[in-house]
Each structure stands twice: as structure tokens, then as C-alpha cells.
A and B are shown apart, each in its own frame.
Chain A
Amino acid sequence: MGLDGVVRSTGADGGGSGSAGGLVQYQSEGVAVDFTTPILANARIRPSDGDKLEVILSDLGGGRGHYVIPLRHLEKAVTMTVHDHTLCEEVLHRNASSPDDIRRAILTVAKMGLAGQKAAKHARQTIDDEQNERMLTTVCLVRLAITYGDAGAVRAPPTLNDLATDIARGQVKVELAKVARTARLSTDAVYNLLEEWGGIIASVGVPDMPIECRLRRLGRQVFELASQLRQWADEEISHVGDRARAVADHAVRVGRDAEKRLAALDTFTDTIVETVCRWKESNLEIRAAMDALAWTLNGWEGNLRRWREAAQISREEQQRVVSAILATRPIRADAAQFDGANDPAHPARKGSRKVQAYQDWKTGQIDYDAVRRLEALREQAL
């Protein structure tokens, strides 16, 4: 089958921009996906008409602009690795279009071993870690609830083990009596509610937890990436230095958005009794805030991994990665580009286009060195 009507270019400036800084903007950019096919390394998936899904391809062969391809037709446009075939099938099967749903699809496929045994092991470890984060978050919420109005209590706060056995869990529930009375709920109901709450915010946790949960850690790392890029840009004499600064600016904006959303989520924990008392509403609000945070930080895990990997290789690779990150950056921030960025004749752009080798989507060649590097990226914990 030909590709007529399957692939369309969005042109040099890509699609339209949504409300600045809003969640809609993040959603319109789609969800970053850990594909292992090199030309799909910067691809994102987003909902299309109705319940269909489409893929946005940026930085194709190092060129400008974005291409939009229906997900179900992707294999006709691009020669994909077996892992990516399977991942597309899984995403289509789940009709996954949110960061969390796509993350679950990615982990399911990775667990099979199609991206290598190490990636499979890492996926299993990630699932276990998330389970632990969930448990620990619940423990911390229970601890906060117990100490409510009882700050002078001398008894030891509950531990993970306390929640693992029925008898000890029973004792913990008894200690929740004060909150239960205030919320006019049974201690069982309060405990179940805290467990549900812990599950919802597991990837963020609560402030001052002994471990930094995934999204909270990522929020911090995005700021660090910005400062690393600025420092790198100061030593970069080519035009890529300006690109690095533009990415850093964007990272700071994302980091600040994430910070605000985290603070909003932490407010629920700070006012734990009020949250419990109006759980029906707060449940929805917490879910919405978590969803917004996941959208805000979506894609930055991959950016961080790529930057760390490039730092180990060469300056040229770092330049390539900075350009690739910039290419997937929201269109609205293009105004911050250096003067002449859109003018091919501008001296700063002379000789700046770097076409990536072995990624020719017309010949269907796949560079398995690049595939293995993308697979290896998934083995690293952040």
C-alpha cells in the first residue's frame, strides 16, 4: 500500500500552539514513547480524530518540521524494530494516550524482553520500585494521619512491616480513630482511603519521605539539566550553544510548572484531615493534579537519559542531542530562538544541518548500534 494520505508534514513550524503554559499545550504535544527504532527516538503519540491515535515525528533525519502519521499505519511508513511493532500493537490494544497508560504499555512490552534482557530486568525492577513507593507513601500518609492532633504522641510511628500483617494493621487502624471521628468515617474507611490516596500519589510521594519518588525526583533533575545545559552552552562556540540555552529555558519553565503542581499536591497532604473529610472531591482533584504533573514532565526522563549518555560520548553527540531535544520542544517556545534561526542563509545556520546516518526511512535500513544504545538507555535508572 502506498503512503498517500498516510503521512502529512506539518511544515516547518509544526502544528498550532495551545494556551501558553497550559495543560492543553502539553497534551497536544503528545506522549513521549521509548521506541527503539532510531528515527522514532523523538516520536510522540497523541489522540487523533475520535478514538484513533497518531504519531508525531520530529527531527526526522535531522531536518526541521514535524510529521504526523496514524499509529496504525506507522509500520507502512517506517521500518521498525520488532520491539516497536509489539509496542504499537500494545498501545493500540489499550488505546493508551495518557503518560501513565503509555508507561504501562511500555513496561509490559519491555518485560517481555524484546528490548533485551537487561531492559526486561529493569522494567521488572521499576514495577517493584513503584509498588514500594506506593507502600511507603501509604505508610507516610498513615503516619501523618495518626499524628494529627496528637503531635506529642510518644509511640513509634508505623512501619512498612506494620502494614504487612493483619494484626499490626488492625492496631494501626485503631490509632486512626481520631481522624476517623473528625471525618465521621470508620477507621477502616479512613485506612482504605489513605491506601487509595497512597496509590494515586505513589510516583510523587509526600514531602520529607526517606526516598524521593519518581516524579518528584524528575522535577528536580529537570532544573539540574537546565543548569548543566547552560554551563555547556557557555563553552560552546557554535550555534548549538543558543539551542542549548533555549532548551535550558524550556526546562526551567517545565521545572517551575512541575514545582507548582507538586506544591499543590503537597497541600493536600499538609491539610490531611480536610482532604480526608472531603475525600469525594479531593480524590478527583488529586487525580487531576497527578495527571497534570505527569503531562508536565512527560518526555523529560528520555531527555535526561539521552543527555547523560551523550555526555559520555563526544561533543558532537552532545550537539546532536541538544538539537534533537530542541526539535521536540513545544512550538510556542520557538520565539525564544536565536536571531536567524529560521533563516537558512543566516551565518549561524551555515553548515548546521546534520543529517543522521543509517536512519533513511526510505531504504528501511535500521542502525542496530543506535538501537542497542536506545535499549541501553532504558536500562539506566534515573
Chain B
Amino acid sequence: MIPAFGEIAAIRERLFDLSDEQFAKLVGFMERTRDLSTGRSVSNEALDAMRPRLRVSRPPRRLNVERIFCRPFEDVLHSGPDQSWRAGRIARAAIEPCWAVVSQRIAPSLLAEIRRDIGELTVADLNWPLRFGPPLWTAARAAFDAILGEADADRAAHAALVGSLGGAAGEASFRLMARMLAIAEIVEELRYILSPKPLAALDISHAAAVSGQFKALAAAKATLWEPLAYFVIARMAEPIALARAYGGAACADAGLHFLGVTASKVTIADLGATLGELDAVVAGTPDAAAAVASRGEIAADQIAKLREGVRERKFTASMAEIDRMQQGLRDAVSRNVLEGTGSLIAGSLETAAPADDAAGEAARDALRQTAEARAHALWKCARFAGKIGMDRELAQTVKSVEDEAGQLVLDQIAALRRGSGRPDDDAIDSVQASLVHAVRVVELVAGPERANALRKRGFEAIERLRAA
């Protein structure tokens, strides 16, 4: 029986309740179901839900034709929420529509033969790429050539292709897949040399192997150097390391220089995409500040490295463009992390009285979590503020939040003490929860020493209230 969408939520929730053995059986069932046309989308959804456990338990995954097809470009796959195009990357979501188009042009007898030979083999079988890859990749290359040839020659065929791939981003992924498949055997050879992934830098033997492959593809430089560069970049921890090493005019090796230049372009494009996403973040939404702080930290680091690389003439890029990107990041931090922080944190502390009902309590908990997330974002931004020239703004906001949070909660305790008679336990518990929240906020913005001092002062006052 194929699980319904409601059951997928249950799978997600109880993912770690199963033993490894039970989980392996469930995975096997889902993978077999995926081979049926009726169960494909639900099984994919279920396997997606199971991914956190798959990463831990790693049951032997069943080999299938799609997996063999994807092998040449599996390093450049990205798991974005949609098919959005990113330079040198293919969205996982693009695999299914692309395979649907290509598989129609591959001889059914070949596919049936491969499926039969696969049998119960799993991806743990080390020989599968060499055994099943070449015949399928050759057939897929021919299919890509035919489809793209028709699309380039006929506008109606092109429109139909774009339609079946889900738009222009899908088409871009399709074209990159075609080019990656064209170098499938080279990629397979290089993968073993450029291991384990991710590499911090190419050593002499890595560089020689990569350079050799660029030379081997010199005749098809215009079309195949780029996918080869994308593959190498995807094996690296940071593409900018390649830009710094080979992007400068001093690099005499044409292939490696192309790799360096492509790496700088990919870095700038990735950075541009990140900043574009940060620009689109709606200020005030619960995760906005956290998203800007965590992605901003990486972006600030990349901007600094780009600037340094250009200054040192390690590679070429426009300084004006780098300045524009830095300004974009500053704006995102101001809009999403600094603005409204004081009022948000004050709002989360203002009412220390017990909530009237469960809904009121849940709303207050949510507000406190948002305030703590904002304080964490402030702490995180303070780490990279110096790189983008925002130290002063950050320091001012941090100071005001610290002062306000501490004062507000101590005032609440004092107000409770001033009231007539001994306050009831609910009121004391509620003000204690408010104190704990203030302590956590102060800890993030001003450090543990100040927060601990506030905790001690606050708890002593609360103990006195309880003892009264």
C-alpha cells in the first residue's frame, strides 16, 4: 500500500522510533514503489521525509536507472526548494522532468536490459558506475543531442520542450545535464582523484590531473570546459580557493586559468543570488533576522575574500560590483536585524502576568522565541559587522537592548514586591519565566557574565518573594 500524504507527516514525526532493520525495510518498500508510475511522486515525497534518518542509518539504497543517469552530474546537484537556476548547479527538482523527456528517446529494450541486470544490486556495489554507466550515458547523450537539435531548429519544438521541463530554469538545467553527460567518463575518472570531497585546495597531483583533462577536451573547449570546471568547483570546499590559485593572469596553464576564472564567476554569481534572496526577505517575518544573520556571515566573508583577491590581483572582478554587494548586505542587516529589535525585545518582556489561556501563553512563547532569535542574530551580525563597516550601529543596538531587557524585568519583580500581600505562585512563576527570557537575551547580546549577574540578582529577589 502506498502511503497517503497524511501518513508522510507521521513518517516524518516518528522517523527515529524505528529500529535500523525496520527502517531499512521501509526504505526498500518505498524504493520499489517508486518504480511504479502510480507511486512515484508519493514515494519521492516519503523518501524526502525520511532523508534525515537515511543520513544516519544509511540502509543500502537500491540502484535504479535514474541513479545511473544522474551519476555524471550528482556533484553539482543542489537541494533548493524549487528548480531555480544557479550557475554551475542543477536543482534536484529538475531531475524528474528531464529524465522523463530523455528516457522517451532511449531504446526501451536498453532500459529494460539495464533494469533486469540491476536486479537487487545496491549503490554499495562499487562496480556499478563502470558496468552500467557507459551504455546508458551513450544512449542518453544521443537522446540529448536529438532533443536539443530539434529544439534549436524549431521554435515550436523549443516551446514544447521548455513547457515539459517546467520553464527556462528547467531548460538551463537540461542543457547543463547534456554537457555533463558529454564528459561523463572524464568526471568518473576525476572523481576518484578529487577525493575525499570537499577539498580545501588542489595539490600538485590534483592540479596535474585536472589540467590533463582540460587539455584532453581542448578541441571542444567552447562547450565542455565549462561543465568540467563546474564539476571541479563542486568538489571544492570554497570555489574562491580556485579563483585565488588560478584566476590571475600569471597562471600559464590555460585549462587551470579557465577553472580559476569560472570559479570567480561562480563565487560572484552565488553571492549575487544570496544577496538577491536576502533582499527579498520580508522584514519582520519570524525567520528573517536569522536568515540574514547566518547567510550574511557567509556573504560578508565571501565579499572580504573577493575584495582581497582583486586587490592582490589574484583574479579579476569589478570592485564597484563588490561595493554594491557590500551595500546590499548592509541594507539587509539594517532592515532585518537592527530595525525594530528594541521594540521586539521590549514587547516580549512587557507582560509578565500569567497568560489568560493556552492560546495567550502560546503567543507569548512564540514572541519570546522570536526575540531570542533576534538577539542571536544580533550576536551573529556583531561577528561580521567589522567586515562590512557596521560595528558602530551594531554596538549601539546591543547596548540599548541589554539595558532595556535587564531594567524591564527587574522593574517587574519590584512591581510584584510592591503589591499588597504575598503575590500568588502563578504570578511569581510568570515573572520568573520573564526573568529567564531576559537572561537569555542579555547573554546573547552582552555575554554570560552580565547575564549571570542579572540571573543571580533576579532569582534572589524572586526567592524573597516566595519566602514572603
Cβ of B379 and Cβ of A116 under 8 Å apart?
no
Residue A26 lies at the interface, judged by CB distance under 8 Å to chain B: no
Cβ of B451 and Cβ of A82 under 8 Å apart?
yes
Nearest CB of chain B from residue A305's CB, rounded to whole Å: 10
Given the known inter-chain contacts A82-B443, A82-B451, A308-B56, please indicate yes or no for A220 contacting B196, CB distance below 8 A: no
Cβ of B448 and Cβ of A220 under 8 Å apart?
no
Residue A353 lies at the interface, judged by CB distance under 8 Å to chain B: no
Chain A neighbourhood of B379, CB < 8 A: 368
Nearest CB of chain A from residue B333's CB, rounded to whole Å: 17
Given the known inter-chain contacts A82-B443, A113-B433, A372-B376, please indicate yes or no for A366 contacting B448, CB distance below 8 A: yes
Residue B436 lies at the interface, judged by CB distance under 8 Å to chain A: yes
Partner of A231, one of B58, B197, B365, B372: B58
Chain A neighbourhood of B27, CB < 8 A: none
Cβ of B197 and Cβ of A368 under 8 Å apart?
no
Cβ of B440 and Cβ of A368 under 8 Å apart?
no
Cβ of B56 and Cβ of A80 under 8 Å apart?
no
B interface SS class = helix
Residue B437 lies at the interface, judged by CB distance under 8 Å to chain A: yes
User: Once bound together, how far apart are the Cα atoms of A81 and B452, in whole Å?
Assistant: 8
Cβ of A315 and Cβ of B196 under 8 Å apart?
yes
Closest to A75 in B: B452
Given the known inter-chain contacts A82-B448, A220-B19, please indicate yes or no for A114 contacting B57, CB distance below 8 A: no
Q: How many residues of A contact B (CB 8 A)?
A: 33
Cβ of A114 and Cβ of B20 under 8 Å apart?
no
Partner of B437, one of A113, A366, A372: A113
Additional A-B contacts beyond A82-B440, A227-B20, A382-B16 (14; CB < 8 A): A81-B448, A85-B455, A114-B436, A114-B440, A116-B372, A117-B368, A224-B57, A237-B196, A308-B56, A311-B55, A312-B52, A312-B55, A368-B380, A372-B376
Total A-B pairs in contact (CB under 8 Å)?
70
Residue B194 lies at the interface, judged by CB distance under 8 Å to chain A: no
Chain A neighbourhood of B432, CB < 8 A: 112
Closest to A314 in B: B198
Residue A279 lies at the interface, judged by CB distance under 8 Å to chain B: no
User: Which of B16, B19, B195, B440 is most buried by chain A, counting CB atoms within 10 A of its CB?
Assistant: B440
Nearest CB of chain A from residue B461's CB, rounded to whole Å: 16
Residue B398 lies at the interface, judged by CB distance under 8 Å to chain A: no
Chain B neighbourhood of A369, CB < 8 A: 380
User: Which of B198, B369, B455 is most buried by chain A, counting CB atoms within 10 A of its CB?
Assistant: B455
Q: Which of A230-245 contact B (CB under 8 A)?
A: 231-232, 236-238
Interface string of B346-384 (1 = CB under 8 A from A): 000000000000000000010011001000100110000
Cβ of B56 and Cβ of A311 under 8 Å apart?
yes
Residue A79 lies at the interface, judged by CB distance under 8 Å to chain B: yes
Residue B439 lies at the interface, judged by CB distance under 8 Å to chain A: yes
Closest to B195 in A: A237
Q: Can you list 26 A-B contacts with CB-CB less than 8 angstroms, sorted by A residue number? A: A79-B448, A82-B448, A82-B451, A85-B455, A112-B432, A112-B436, A113-B436, A113-B437, A113-B440, A114-B436, A114-B440, A116-B372, A117-B368, A224-B57, A228-B56, A228-B57, A228-B58, A231-B58, A236-B196, A238-B196, A311-B55, A368-B376, A368-B379, A368-B380, A380-B16, A381-B16
Residue B444 lies at the interface, judged by CB distance under 8 Å to chain A: yes
Residue A307 lies at the interface, judged by CB distance under 8 Å to chain B: yes
Cβ of A81 and Cβ of B443 under 8 Å apart?
yes
User: Once bound together, how far apart are the Cα atoms of A369 and B379, in whole Å?
Assistant: 9
Interface string of B121-165 (1 = CB under 8 A from A): 000000000000000000000000000000000000000000000
Chain B neighbourhood of A381, CB < 8 A: 16
Chain A neighbourhood of B369, CB < 8 A: 117
User: Once bound together, how far apart are the Cα atoms of A59 and B195, in whole Å?
Assistant: 27
Cβ of B196 and Cβ of A85 under 8 Å apart?
no
Nearest CB of chain B from residue A105's CB, rounded to whole Å: 16
Chain B neighbourhood of A85, CB < 8 A: 448, 452, 455
Nearest CB of chain B from residue A354's CB, rounded to whole Å: 12
Nearest CB of chain A from residue B33's CB, rounded to whole Å: 24
User: Once bound together, how far apart are the Cα atoms of A85 and B52, in whole Å?
Assistant: 33
List chain B positions with a Cβ less than 8 A from chain A: 16, 19-20, 52, 55-58, 195-198, 365, 368-369, 372, 376, 379-380, 432-433, 436-437, 439-440, 443-444, 447-449, 451-452, 455
Residue A86 lies at the interface, judged by CB distance under 8 Å to chain B: yes
User: Once bound together, how far apart are the Cα atoms of A316 and B238, in whole Å?
Assistant: 14
Q: Which of A77-99 contact B (CB under 8 A)?
A: 79-82, 85-86
Given the known inter-chain contacts A112-B436, A114-B439, A368-B444, please indicate yes or no for A224 contacting B20, CB distance below 8 A: yes
Nearest CB of chain B from residue A1's CB, rounded to whole Å: 15
Cβ of B440 and Cβ of A116 under 8 Å apart?
yes
Chain A neighbourhood of B440, CB < 8 A: 82, 113-114, 116
User: Once bound together, how far apart are the Cα atoms of A161 and B20, in whole Å?
Assistant: 33
User: Once bound together, how far apart are the Cα atoms of A312 and B455, in whole Å?
Assistant: 35
User: Which of B20, B56, B197, B365 is most buried by chain A, counting CB atoms within 10 A of its CB?
Assistant: B56
Q: Which of A294-311 contact B (CB under 8 A)?
A: 307-308, 311
Nearest CB of chain A from residue B228's CB, rounded to whole Å: 23
Cβ of B455 and Cβ of A315 under 8 Å apart?
no
User: Once bound together, how far apart are the Cα atoms of A81 and B436, in whole Å?
Assistant: 13
Chain A neighbourhood of B365, CB < 8 A: 117
Chain B neighbourhood of A224, CB < 8 A: 19-20, 57
Q: Which of A174-230 contact B (CB under 8 A)?
A: 220, 224, 227-228
User: Once bound together, how far apart are the Cα atoms of A382 and B17, in whole Å?
Assistant: 8
Chain A neighbourhood of B197, CB < 8 A: 315
Nearest CB of chain A from residue B10's CB, rounded to whole Å: 15
User: Once bound together, how far apart are the Cα atoms of A228 and B368, in whole Å?
Assistant: 38
User: Once bound together, how far apart are the Cα atoms of A231 and B451, in whole Å?
Assistant: 44
Cβ of B452 and Cβ of A82 under 8 Å apart?
yes
User: Once bound together, how far apart are the Cα atoms of A179 and B169, in whole Å?
Assistant: 75
Chain A neighbourhood of B372, CB < 8 A: 116
Interface string of A308-347 (1 = CB under 8 A from B): 1001100110000000000000000000000000000000
Chain A neighbourhood of B443, CB < 8 A: 81-82
Chain A neighbourhood of B195, CB < 8 A: 237
Chain A neighbourhood of B449, CB < 8 A: 79
